[in-house]
Structure 1
Amino acid sequence: MGLLWGITLLWAFSFSLIGVYLAGQVDAYLAVASRMALALLVFLPFWRPLPWRQALVLMATGAIEIGIMYLFLYKSYQYLTVAELLLFTIFTPLYVSLFADLFARRWPKHLWAPALLAVAGAAVIRWTELSEDYWKGFALIQAANACFAFGQVWYRHQSKSTSLTHRARFAWFFLGALLVTALASALLADWQKLPVTPVQQGVLLWLGVVASGLGYLGWSYGSTLVSAQQLAVMNNMLIPAGIVVNVVIWQGQVDWLRLGLGSVCMAGALWLCRRQSS
């Protein structure tokens, strides 16, 4: 769990960095493709040839969990406010629980209670009035949530049957993600919005090498060390962590009562996970 907490804190900074220095200034497709390219460079020294089936599975995992997920996520910005987008990401734990049950070929029994409690906690923190026309955005963000959840569970499932190191796997993982995002950039990007300032380039370097490269490696490895219940709950811990970082460093506004109540619900979900796993 300690590793997942560390990555959660790391990613909490990413939301504010993107919002302050990149959003609306650098094309989203170019930003995502740049992140994937930089992350791939981190793992190229560990690349090794694999049987084509295994290589394709790893590439497909990266393409779905990160590549396609980001495409759905950025498309949803056309229909949702930031508050609505954050609200709709709270359903990710439910998708993690669902895919964990499907891969284990079991009937849901214990996974859903902590996942629902985590969703309730995040809803308390992020609930806001919804705009009149949000169904397209809602569908897009649920597709993004499902892709991210599926990739996490699929990676855990693969880890049970391979001795390949995580570092070697992630060279193929980010190659798949880069192929998807590079194709989207070629077709959809606004090439007038390049990262031209040193600050923008520095933020992208941090996001690509640290947040994406080391972050997803740590998160995927950490996901193999915890139960599916704990993984589901940790997917929503980023919401209170991101809010706290934004308030402390960038002087954002927050309803501390709602943040406290929501965090208590999430802590209860983690306690429930531990109780069911013991």
Structure 2
Amino acid sequence: MGLLWLITVLWAFSFSLIGVYLAGQVDAYIAVASRMALALLIFLPFWRPLPWRQALTLMATGAVEIGIMYLFLYKSYQYLSVAELLLFTIFTPLYVSLFADLFARRWPRQFWAPALLAVAGAAVIRWTDLSEQYWHGFALIQAANACFAFGQVWYRHQSQRSALTHRARFAWFFLGALVVTLAAMLALADWQKWPATHLQQGVLLWLGVVASGLGYLGWSYGSTRVSAQQLAVMNNMLIPAGILVNVFIWNGQADWPRLALGSACMVAALWLCRRSQSS
């Protein structure tokens, strides 16, 4: 659990770094592909040949959990503030719990009740300004949440049946993520928004090597050392940490009363989800 807390603190800075220095300035597809390439580089020394089924499974896990997830995440910065984006990741534990039950062949009863309550909490945050762009960003974040949750549970499931070291797995893991993000970059990138300044390049270097490479290695290893319920809860710890970093270091704005009320609805949704699973 301590390792998951450490990675949570590390990742708390990533959202603001992206929002302040990259979003709207560096093309999202270029930024994501660059991060995946940098992360892959640090694991190449640990690469080893694997049976094709195992290799493809690890590549698919990385493609979904990180590659596709980041494509949705970066796109959402066009529609949401950092605080809103962080808040809406509160849905991730619901998805973690859902996928954990499905992998265990248990159908989660009463799942839609807490999910709908969580959506109501999201609406409270900006009830007077529910624009089309707002809901577009909200949908993108939910797609990112689902991809991240599915990848975490799938990785844990694979780890229970494999003696391969995590370092060796991640060479294939990030290769899968790079394939997806590189294809998206070549097809969709705006090449006029290349990371031209040293600051942007430095932020991408940090995000690629530390936040993505070392961060996801630590998080994935830590996820195999805790229960699915603990993993679901830890997915939410990033929200207050990230919002506090954005507000107190980068002078971000937060409507505290609405944030509190919306968060209360979402916490109630998580409580209902856990209660329905234990019944």
TM-score range normalised by the length of the shorter chain: 0.7 to 0.9
Q: Which moved further from structure 2: 226-235 or 158-167?
A: 226-235
Q: Which residue of 1 aligns with 2:44?
A: 44
Q: Which residue of 2 aligns with 1:182?
A: 182
Structure 2: any 5+ residue segments left out of the alignment? none
Q: Which residue of 1 aligns with 2:148?
A: 148
Deviation readout 1:187-241 (Å, 9 max, x if unpaired): 0001111111111111110000000000011111111111111111211211110
Q: CA offset at residue 22 of structure 1? A: 1.1
Q: CA offset at residue 141 of structure 1? A: 2.6
Q: CA offset at residue 28 of structure 1? A: 0.9
Deviation readout 1:54-92 (Å, 9 max, x if unpaired): 000000000000111122233344555655544433211
Contact 2:114 2:272 in 1 (8 A): yes
Q: CA offset at residue 152 of structure 1? A: 0.4
Q: CA offset at residue 30 of structure 1? A: 0.4
Structure 1: any 5+ residue segments left out of the alignment? none
Q: CA offset at residue 249 of structure 1? A: 1.7
Classify 1:121/1:140 alpha carbon distance in 2 versus 1 (closer, same or farther; 3 Å). Answer: closer
Residues of 1 paired with 2:254 and 2:135: CA distance? Answer: 26
Q: Which moved further from structure 2: 128-137 or 98-107?
A: 128-137
Q: CA offset at residue 247 of structure 1? A: 2.3
Q: Which residue of 2 aligns with 1:224?
A: 224
Q: Report matched runs for 1:1-20 at 5 Å.
A: 1-20=1-20
Q: Which residue of 1 aligns with 2:61?
A: 61
The TM-score normalised by the length of structure 2 is 0.84
Q: Which residue of 2 aligns with 1:29?
A: 29
SS in 2 for 1:250: coil
Q: Which moved further from structure 2: 6-15 or 120-129?
A: 120-129
Which one-letter code corresponds to 2:225 in the other structure? L
Deviation readout 1:144-184 (Å, 9 max, x if unpaired): 21111100000000000000000000000000000000000
Contact 1:97 1:111 in 2 (8 A): no
Contact 1:124 1:261 in 2 (8 A): yes
Tell me how large the CA RMSD over aligned residues is: 3.5
How many residues end up aligned between the 2 structures? 277
Q: Which residue of 1 aligns with 2:240?
A: 240
Q: Report matched runs for 1:1-278 at 5 Å.
A: 1-78=1-78, 80=80, 84-108=84-108, 129-132=129-132, 134-254=134-254
The TM-score normalised by the length of structure 1 is 0.84
Q: CA offset at residue 113 of structure 1? A: 11
Q: CA offset at residue 51 of structure 1? A: 0.5
Identity of aligned residues (%): 87
Contact 1:65 1:152 in 2 (8 A): yes
SS in 2 for 1:108: coil
